[in-house]
Amino acid sequence: MRTAPCSTSPKASPPSATWSLVWRLVQQTAPVACSQPLNDLLAQAIAESGYETMSLVSGAGHDAVPVSAVAPATMLFIRCYKGISHNPLENVELADLAAAIAVADRFIHQLRMKNEQ
């Protein structure tokens, strides 16, 4: 557990107010790289579905790290309202969900075809 003193903003707290932050490390995992061949295949599925690709660096280790221990990984992110994710306020538009399903379907089909060669 780590503690660190924090400064206060005059607008947020009276000048005499002091507080500290307690930080407890709950999980620590090493970063993993997604599979470049799978990233390329996913980018192809996105483009062929009529959408623009965008590469992201993600801290979504809770998703990719466990998978990468047994198989190559790639990730498709779905746009959320105000970027809120893993929170009760998370909200996805139906059109974005439909786009993700279409891309995933195309990706899985391409992956199957590639593995049958």
36-116 has which CATH code?
1.10.150
Sequence-ordered list of residues with C-beta below 8 angstroms from that of 100, at least 6 positions apart, any chain: 76, 78
Does the pLDDT of residue 6 top 60, yes or no?
Answer: no
**Residues paired with 59 in a beta bridge:** none
Cut 0.85: pTM above it = no
Cα–Cα distance measured from residue 33 to residue 35, given in angstroms and rounded to the nearest whole number: 6
Cα–Cα distance measured from residue 35 to residue 65, given in angstroms and rounded to the nearest whole number: 12
User: Do 45 and 110 form a contact (C-beta atoms < 8 A)?
Assistant: yes
Q: What is the pLDDT of residues 46-101, one digit of tens each?
A: 999 999 998 888 776 777 888 888 999 999 999 889 988 888 999 999 999 999 99
| Residue 12 pLDDT | 59
